[in-house]
Structure 1
Protein backbone atom coordinates (compact mmCIF):
# COMPACT_ATOMS: atom_id res chain seq x y z
CA UNK A 1 0.00 0.00 0.00
CA UNK A 2 1.71 3.20 -1.18
CA UNK A 3 0.89 6.38 0.69
CA UNK A 4 2.26 9.87 1.25
CA UNK A 5 3.89 10.90 4.51
CA UNK A 6 4.08 14.61 5.09
CA UNK A 7 4.89 16.72 2.08
CA UNK A 8 8.19 15.07 1.08
CA UNK A 9 7.97 11.31 1.55
CA UNK A 10 6.26 8.24 0.08
CA UNK A 11 5.80 5.03 2.07
CA UNK A 12 5.94 1.85 0.02
CA UNK A 13 6.15 -1.30 2.16
CA UNK A 14 5.65 -2.03 5.83
CA UNK A 15 8.73 -3.96 6.91
CA UNK A 16 8.13 -4.26 10.65
CA UNK A 17 5.67 -3.73 13.45
CA UNK A 18 6.07 -3.44 17.19
CA UNK A 19 3.80 -2.70 20.10
CA UNK A 20 3.90 1.06 19.55
CA UNK A 21 4.77 1.57 15.93
CA UNK A 22 5.52 0.37 12.44
CA UNK A 23 8.61 0.62 10.26
CA UNK A 24 8.17 1.31 6.57
CA UNK A 25 10.46 1.39 3.58
CA UNK A 26 9.90 4.38 1.32
CA UNK A 27 11.64 7.26 -0.38
CA UNK A 28 12.01 11.01 -0.48
CA UNK A 29 11.31 13.28 -3.45
CA UNK A 30 14.80 12.62 -4.86
CA UNK A 31 14.19 8.84 -4.81
CA UNK A 32 16.52 8.09 -1.87
CA UNK A 33 15.39 4.92 -0.08
CA UNK A 34 14.72 5.55 3.61
CA UNK A 35 13.18 3.86 6.63
CA UNK A 36 10.27 5.45 8.50
CA UNK A 37 9.39 4.62 12.09
CA UNK A 38 5.74 5.63 12.53
CA UNK A 39 4.01 5.86 15.86
CA UNK A 40 0.70 3.99 15.72
CA UNK A 41 -2.21 6.47 15.45
CA UNK A 42 -3.80 5.65 18.81
CA UNK A 43 -0.51 6.55 20.59
CA UNK A 44 -0.16 10.00 19.04
CA UNK A 45 -2.50 11.44 21.68
CA UNK A 46 -0.58 9.90 24.62
CA UNK A 47 1.86 12.55 25.91
CA UNK A 48 4.14 9.99 27.58
CA UNK A 49 4.48 7.85 24.46
CA UNK A 50 5.00 10.91 22.24
CA UNK A 51 7.69 12.18 24.65
CA UNK A 52 9.56 8.83 24.43
CA UNK A 53 9.26 8.84 20.64
CA UNK A 54 10.59 12.41 20.39
CA UNK A 55 13.34 11.58 22.84
CA UNK A 56 14.47 8.64 20.68
CA UNK A 57 14.80 10.98 17.72
CA UNK A 58 16.76 13.52 19.79
CA UNK A 59 19.10 10.78 21.01
CA UNK A 60 19.69 9.28 17.58
CA UNK A 61 20.49 12.68 16.05
CA UNK A 62 23.25 13.15 18.64
CA UNK A 63 24.84 9.74 18.08
CA UNK A 64 26.95 10.00 14.93
CA UNK A 65 28.56 6.63 14.23
CA UNK A 66 28.81 4.33 11.22
CA UNK A 67 27.49 1.64 13.60
CA UNK A 68 24.29 3.43 14.65
CA UNK A 69 21.27 3.99 12.38
CA UNK A 70 21.37 7.62 11.17
CA UNK A 71 18.32 9.89 11.56
CA UNK A 72 17.44 12.34 8.80
CA UNK A 73 14.17 14.01 9.73
CA UNK A 74 11.04 14.07 11.84
CA UNK A 75 7.54 14.22 10.37
CA UNK A 76 4.71 15.54 12.54
CA UNK A 77 1.91 16.24 10.11
CA UNK A 78 -1.79 15.36 9.63
CA UNK A 79 -1.87 13.03 12.63
CA UNK A 80 1.34 11.21 11.64
CA UNK A 81 4.44 11.17 13.81
CA UNK A 82 7.46 9.52 12.18
CA UNK A 83 11.23 9.37 12.48
CA UNK A 84 12.94 9.31 9.08
CA UNK A 85 16.11 7.17 9.13
CA UNK A 86 18.63 5.60 6.84
CA UNK A 87 17.38 2.37 5.30
CA UNK A 88 19.55 -0.61 6.21
CA UNK A 89 19.53 -3.22 3.46
CA UNK A 90 19.68 -6.55 5.22
CA UNK A 91 18.40 -8.49 8.17
CA UNK A 92 18.84 -8.14 11.90
CA UNK A 93 21.37 -10.10 13.92
CA UNK A 94 18.70 -12.44 15.40
CA UNK A 95 17.49 -13.55 11.96
CA UNK A 96 21.04 -13.94 10.68
CA UNK A 97 21.99 -16.13 13.64
CA UNK A 98 18.84 -18.23 13.16
CA UNK A 99 19.64 -18.61 9.46
CA UNK A 100 23.32 -19.48 9.84
CA UNK A 101 23.27 -21.11 13.30
CA UNK A 102 26.91 -20.05 13.87
CA UNK A 103 29.51 -17.57 12.63
CA UNK A 104 33.23 -17.98 12.20
CA UNK A 105 34.98 -16.50 15.26
CA UNK A 106 36.75 -13.77 13.29
CA UNK A 107 33.45 -12.58 11.80
CA UNK A 108 31.68 -12.67 15.17
CA UNK A 109 34.49 -10.72 16.85
CA UNK A 110 34.45 -8.15 14.02
CA UNK A 111 30.70 -7.61 14.51
CA UNK A 112 31.11 -7.28 18.27
CA UNK A 113 33.94 -4.76 17.91
CA UNK A 114 31.79 -2.63 15.57
CA UNK A 115 28.77 -2.85 17.90
CA UNK A 116 30.95 -1.81 20.82
CA UNK A 117 32.29 1.13 18.80
CA UNK A 118 28.69 2.31 18.21
CA UNK A 119 27.84 1.87 21.90
CA UNK A 120 31.05 3.69 22.84
CA UNK A 121 29.98 6.69 20.78
CA UNK A 122 26.64 6.75 22.62
CA UNK A 123 28.32 6.29 26.01
CA UNK A 124 30.66 9.24 25.41
CA UNK A 125 27.52 11.35 24.95
CA UNK A 126 26.06 10.02 28.21
CA UNK A 127 23.54 7.72 26.46
CA UNK A 128 22.95 4.08 27.44
CA UNK A 129 20.83 1.96 25.06
CA UNK A 130 19.09 -0.16 27.75
CA UNK A 131 17.53 -2.58 25.23
CA UNK A 132 20.44 -3.90 23.17
CA UNK A 133 19.51 -7.29 21.77
CA UNK A 134 20.06 -9.11 18.46
CA UNK A 135 16.79 -7.74 17.01
CA UNK A 136 18.07 -4.18 17.55
CA UNK A 137 21.28 -4.76 15.59
CA UNK A 138 20.59 -4.38 11.87
CA UNK A 139 23.08 -5.85 9.42
CA UNK A 140 23.91 -3.65 6.45
CA UNK A 141 24.89 -5.83 3.49
CA UNK A 142 26.89 -3.13 1.68
CA UNK A 143 30.53 -4.05 1.14
CA UNK A 144 32.48 -7.26 1.66
CA UNK A 145 31.04 -8.02 5.10
CA UNK A 146 28.07 -7.09 7.25
CA UNK A 147 28.23 -3.73 8.98
CA UNK A 148 26.15 -3.69 12.16
CA UNK A 149 23.88 -0.70 12.80
CA UNK A 150 22.39 -0.33 16.29
CA UNK A 151 18.75 0.72 16.21
CA UNK A 152 15.82 1.35 18.54
CA UNK A 153 17.04 3.74 21.22
CA UNK A 154 13.43 4.16 22.37
CA UNK A 155 14.16 3.28 26.00
CA UNK A 156 17.67 4.70 26.18
CA UNK A 157 18.75 6.24 29.46
CA UNK A 158 20.75 9.39 29.95
CA UNK A 159 23.47 8.84 32.53
CA UNK A 160 23.66 11.12 35.58
CA UNK A 161 20.16 12.44 35.03
CA UNK A 162 17.49 10.81 37.16
CA UNK A 163 14.93 13.27 35.82
CA UNK A 164 15.21 11.74 32.36
CA UNK A 165 14.83 8.13 33.46
CA UNK A 166 12.01 6.43 31.58
CA UNK A 167 9.83 3.99 33.44
CA UNK A 168 6.24 2.94 33.38
CA UNK A 169 4.11 2.68 36.51
CA UNK A 170 4.53 -0.77 38.03
CA UNK A 171 6.90 -1.92 35.32
CA UNK A 172 10.11 -1.51 33.42
CA UNK A 173 11.12 -0.73 29.88
CA UNK A 174 13.32 -3.10 27.95
CA UNK A 175 13.66 -6.82 27.32
CA UNK A 176 14.31 -8.58 30.65
CA UNK A 177 16.60 -11.27 29.18
CA UNK A 178 18.91 -8.56 27.82
CA UNK A 179 18.72 -6.02 30.66
CA UNK A 180 21.57 -5.32 33.03
CA UNK A 181 20.80 -6.39 36.62
CA UNK A 182 20.84 -2.77 37.81
CA UNK A 183 18.13 -1.91 35.28
CA UNK A 184 15.93 -4.79 36.40
CA UNK A 185 16.36 -3.69 40.03
CA UNK A 186 15.45 -0.07 39.16
CA UNK A 187 18.98 1.23 39.69
CA UNK A 188 20.93 3.82 37.72
CA UNK A 189 22.13 2.77 34.26
CA UNK A 190 25.68 3.16 33.03
CA UNK A 191 27.97 1.95 30.28
Structure 2
Protein backbone atom coordinates (compact mmCIF):
# COMPACT_ATOMS: atom_id res chain seq x y z
CA UNK A 1 0.00 0.00 0.00
CA UNK A 2 2.79 2.36 0.97
CA UNK A 3 4.66 1.63 -2.26
CA UNK A 4 1.55 2.48 -4.28
CA UNK A 5 1.06 5.77 -2.45
CA UNK A 6 4.64 6.96 -2.94
CA UNK A 7 4.46 7.69 -6.73
CA UNK A 8 1.15 9.51 -6.16
CA UNK A 9 2.68 11.65 -3.42
CA UNK A 10 5.70 12.41 -5.60
CA UNK A 11 3.42 13.46 -8.44
CA UNK A 12 1.40 15.67 -6.12
CA UNK A 13 4.56 17.23 -4.72
CA UNK A 14 5.92 17.92 -8.20
CA UNK A 15 2.58 19.44 -9.22
CA UNK A 16 2.56 21.66 -6.13
CA UNK A 17 6.14 22.80 -6.81
CA UNK A 18 5.30 23.64 -10.41
CA UNK A 19 2.23 25.59 -9.30
CA UNK A 20 4.35 27.55 -6.82
CA UNK A 21 6.96 28.25 -9.48
CA UNK A 22 4.25 29.49 -11.85
CA UNK A 23 2.82 31.78 -9.15
CA UNK A 24 6.28 33.29 -8.64
CA UNK A 25 6.77 33.84 -12.38
CA UNK A 26 3.34 35.44 -12.81
CA UNK A 27 3.84 37.65 -9.76
CA UNK A 28 7.16 38.82 -11.20
CA UNK A 29 5.52 39.54 -14.55
CA UNK A 30 2.79 41.68 -12.98
CA UNK A 31 5.28 43.55 -10.79
CA UNK A 32 7.44 44.30 -13.82
CA UNK A 33 4.44 45.87 -15.54
CA UNK A 34 3.33 47.80 -12.45
CA UNK A 35 6.63 48.89 -10.86
CA UNK A 36 9.23 48.16 -13.52
CA UNK A 37 11.94 45.49 -13.35
CA UNK A 38 14.34 47.79 -11.50
CA UNK A 39 11.95 48.22 -8.56
CA UNK A 40 10.90 44.57 -8.45
CA UNK A 41 12.68 42.97 -5.50
CA UNK A 42 12.73 39.35 -4.39
CA UNK A 43 10.83 40.46 -1.26
CA UNK A 44 8.10 42.03 -3.41
CA UNK A 45 7.92 38.91 -5.57
CA UNK A 46 7.59 36.70 -2.48
CA UNK A 47 4.86 38.92 -1.01
CA UNK A 48 2.88 39.04 -4.26
CA UNK A 49 3.23 35.26 -4.68
CA UNK A 50 2.17 34.53 -1.10
CA UNK A 51 5.39 32.65 -0.35
CA UNK A 52 8.57 33.20 1.67
CA UNK A 53 11.73 34.71 0.17
CA UNK A 54 13.44 31.36 0.73
CA UNK A 55 10.80 29.69 -1.44
CA UNK A 56 11.58 32.08 -4.29
CA UNK A 57 15.28 31.24 -4.00
CA UNK A 58 14.46 27.54 -3.83
CA UNK A 59 12.95 27.81 -7.31
CA UNK A 60 15.31 30.45 -8.72
CA UNK A 61 18.92 30.80 -7.56
CA UNK A 62 19.06 34.54 -8.23
CA UNK A 63 17.21 37.56 -9.62
CA UNK A 64 18.51 36.91 -13.14
CA UNK A 65 16.95 33.43 -13.17
CA UNK A 66 13.50 34.62 -12.08
CA UNK A 67 13.63 37.53 -14.53
CA UNK A 68 14.57 35.17 -17.35
CA UNK A 69 11.66 32.87 -16.49
CA UNK A 70 9.34 35.89 -16.35
CA UNK A 71 10.52 37.12 -19.76
CA UNK A 72 10.05 33.69 -21.35
CA UNK A 73 6.57 33.35 -19.88
CA UNK A 74 5.52 36.86 -20.93
CA UNK A 75 6.79 36.35 -24.48
CA UNK A 76 4.93 33.03 -24.69
CA UNK A 77 1.74 34.94 -23.86
CA UNK A 78 2.66 37.93 -26.07
CA UNK A 79 4.75 36.71 -29.00
CA UNK A 80 6.03 39.44 -31.35
CA UNK A 81 4.31 39.68 -34.73
CA UNK A 82 5.42 37.08 -37.26
CA UNK A 83 6.41 37.93 -40.86
CA UNK A 84 3.73 35.52 -42.06
CA UNK A 85 1.26 38.34 -41.26
CA UNK A 86 2.54 40.42 -44.18
CA UNK A 87 4.69 38.16 -46.37
CA UNK A 88 1.74 37.34 -48.63
CA UNK A 89 0.94 40.99 -49.36
CA UNK A 90 1.32 42.34 -52.89
CA UNK A 91 3.96 45.03 -53.22
CA UNK A 92 6.67 46.28 -50.86
CA UNK A 93 4.68 49.30 -49.68
CA UNK A 94 1.68 47.15 -48.79
CA UNK A 95 3.93 44.72 -46.88
CA UNK A 96 5.36 47.62 -44.89
CA UNK A 97 1.93 49.09 -44.17
CA UNK A 98 0.63 45.77 -42.87
CA UNK A 99 3.79 45.11 -40.84
CA UNK A 100 3.83 48.50 -39.15
CA UNK A 101 0.08 48.28 -38.47
CA UNK A 102 0.52 44.85 -36.87
CA UNK A 103 3.46 46.03 -34.74
CA UNK A 104 1.60 49.15 -33.61
CA UNK A 105 -1.37 47.02 -32.57
CA UNK A 106 1.04 44.74 -30.69
CA UNK A 107 2.68 47.68 -28.92
CA UNK A 108 -0.75 49.05 -27.97
CA UNK A 109 -1.67 45.76 -26.30
CA UNK A 110 1.69 45.30 -24.55
CA UNK A 111 2.73 48.90 -23.87
CA UNK A 112 3.10 48.58 -20.10
CA UNK A 113 5.77 45.89 -20.25
CA UNK A 114 7.72 47.48 -23.12
CA UNK A 115 7.66 50.91 -21.47
CA UNK A 116 8.94 49.50 -18.18
CA UNK A 117 11.56 47.37 -19.92
CA UNK A 118 12.97 50.17 -22.07
CA UNK A 119 13.11 52.51 -19.07
CA UNK A 120 14.99 49.99 -16.91
CA UNK A 121 17.12 48.01 -19.34
CA UNK A 122 20.31 50.01 -18.68
CA UNK A 123 20.00 49.32 -14.94
CA UNK A 124 18.91 45.65 -14.96
CA UNK A 125 21.51 43.30 -16.48
CA UNK A 126 18.99 40.43 -16.56
CA UNK A 127 16.91 42.41 -19.06
CA UNK A 128 19.73 43.21 -21.46
CA UNK A 129 19.90 39.82 -23.17
CA UNK A 130 16.17 39.53 -23.94
CA UNK A 131 16.02 43.17 -25.07
CA UNK A 132 19.00 42.64 -27.38
CA UNK A 133 17.26 39.58 -28.83
CA UNK A 134 14.12 41.62 -29.51
CA UNK A 135 16.21 44.36 -31.14
CA UNK A 136 17.88 41.73 -33.36
CA UNK A 137 14.45 40.35 -34.28
CA UNK A 138 13.21 43.82 -35.26
CA UNK A 139 16.37 44.38 -37.29
CA UNK A 140 15.70 41.15 -39.19
CA UNK A 141 12.10 42.16 -39.85
CA UNK A 142 13.23 45.59 -41.06
CA UNK A 143 15.86 44.06 -43.34
CA UNK A 144 13.28 41.75 -44.90
CA UNK A 145 10.84 44.61 -45.50
CA UNK A 146 13.58 46.83 -46.97
CA UNK A 147 14.72 44.04 -49.30
CA UNK A 148 11.24 43.95 -50.83
CA UNK A 149 11.83 47.46 -52.21
CA UNK A 150 14.92 46.30 -54.13
CA UNK A 151 18.31 47.96 -54.29
CA UNK A 152 18.00 51.35 -55.94
CA UNK A 153 20.46 54.15 -55.15
CA UNK A 154 17.65 56.70 -54.81
CA UNK A 155 16.02 54.58 -52.09
CA UNK A 156 18.77 54.85 -49.44
CA UNK A 157 16.25 56.18 -46.93
CA UNK A 158 14.17 52.98 -46.99
CA UNK A 159 16.04 50.77 -44.49
CA UNK A 160 16.62 53.44 -41.81
CA UNK A 161 13.03 54.68 -42.09
CA UNK A 162 11.66 51.15 -41.65
CA UNK A 163 13.91 50.54 -38.64
CA UNK A 164 12.78 53.81 -37.08
CA UNK A 165 9.10 53.10 -37.75
CA UNK A 166 9.23 49.67 -36.10
CA UNK A 167 10.73 50.88 -32.80
CA UNK A 168 8.55 50.88 -29.69
CA UNK A 169 9.90 54.34 -28.86
CA UNK A 170 8.55 55.66 -32.18
CA UNK A 171 5.14 54.17 -31.44
CA UNK A 172 5.23 55.65 -27.92
CA UNK A 173 6.15 59.12 -29.19
CA UNK A 174 3.25 59.11 -31.66
CA UNK A 175 0.97 57.80 -28.93
CA UNK A 176 1.88 60.78 -26.74
CA UNK A 177 0.87 63.04 -29.62
CA UNK A 178 -2.62 61.54 -29.61
CA UNK A 179 -2.50 59.52 -32.83
CA UNK A 180 -4.42 56.27 -32.97
CA UNK A 181 -2.67 53.20 -34.38
CA UNK A 182 -4.19 53.61 -37.83
CA UNK A 183 -2.95 57.20 -38.09
CA UNK A 184 0.47 56.18 -36.78
CA UNK A 185 0.78 53.54 -39.51
CA UNK A 186 -0.36 55.95 -42.22
CA UNK A 187 2.25 58.47 -41.08
CA UNK A 188 4.97 55.81 -41.18
CA UNK A 189 3.99 54.92 -44.75
CA UNK A 190 4.14 58.62 -45.64
CA UNK A 191 7.68 58.88 -44.22
CA UNK A 192 8.67 55.95 -46.37
CA UNK A 193 6.88 56.60 -49.63
CA UNK A 194 5.81 60.23 -49.88
CA UNK A 195 6.57 62.12 -53.14
CA UNK A 196 9.91 63.87 -53.19
CA UNK A 197 11.72 61.20 -51.15
CA UNK A 198 12.28 58.82 -54.03
The alignment's TM-score, normalised by the length of structure 1, stands at 0.26
Q: Going by fraction, where is helix more abundant, 1 or 2?
A: 2
Between structures 1 and 2, the one with greater strand share: 1
The structure with the larger Rg is: 2
